[in-house]
Amino acid sequence: MEVETRASHLVGTALSSFSRLPGNLSPVAPPGMSAVPKRSSPRMEGSFVCTVNEADYAPNWTVVTRHLGSRATSGLWGLRHTRSPVDELVEAARRPQCQPRLVRLSVSPRGVSLTEIGPVVSEEEFYPIECISYGVQDVSYAKIVAMIIVSDKGPFECHAFVCESKDSARRLTLTLAAAFREYGGRKADHKRDAKRRNVVDLKGEQGDSEV
């Protein structure tokens, strides 16, 4: 699936009409691992598990998104740890005085980088892949991708990004899953990194969503 993403469609993005959409998670394990059974946790010690529908996406992609910001969260994995932060960020973004920044988001097996798009050149923000514990295409707002970032100096942070379309959000989630798989394959023999678990959730069928 190829999805073209253009910055112009996000410049005037309104955040006043998010649609709630149902969805189920479909577990698929990376090559060499058995699929996680339905109704069971996708997290397994010493593994890199991606609950996705497609497992052949390239681990590199750059997309223009609106960064809604971040909120503290108490857990490393799971929708229950992204739900409240995403809802809070959406509510804040709806306020008239709030203008979420436009960023160029790049995913690679090294990590995720953010570069603000604007008249003033800004420094790149970089989050190493080993510091990203979880990624998900939100089940309530189909154009939003949430990521949990782990920091040794403070609480876990849930970041939220509004994509141009739900297809772009899906592709971003799949690209992150591919980056996790490649990183996990490279680090499989490293004892410290083998204990870290990176999880990506991608829900199944999606309805229409307006952002």
pLDDT tens digits along 141-197 = 999 999 999 987 778 999 999 999 999 999 999 999 999 988 887 766 555 544 455
Give tens-digit pLDDT for 16-46.
444 433 333 332 223 333 333 333 333 323 3
**CB of 53 within 8 A of CB of 26?**
yes
CATH 2.30.29.30 for domain 56-191: yes
**How does residue 51 score in pLDDT terms, banded at 50, 70 and 90?**
very low
The continuous run of DSSP H or E covering 90 comes out as helix 83-93
Dihedral angle sign, alpha carbons of residues 205, 67, 149, 56: positive
Closest CA to 41 of 29, 53, 30: 29
Backbone φ, ψ for residue 16 (5° rounding): -105, -10
**pTM to 2 decimals?**
0.68
Between 184 and 94, name the one with better pLDDT. 94
Indicate the domain borders of the chain.
56-191
**CB of 1 within 8 A of CB of 167?**
yes
Alpha carbon distance 67, 149 (integer Å): 14
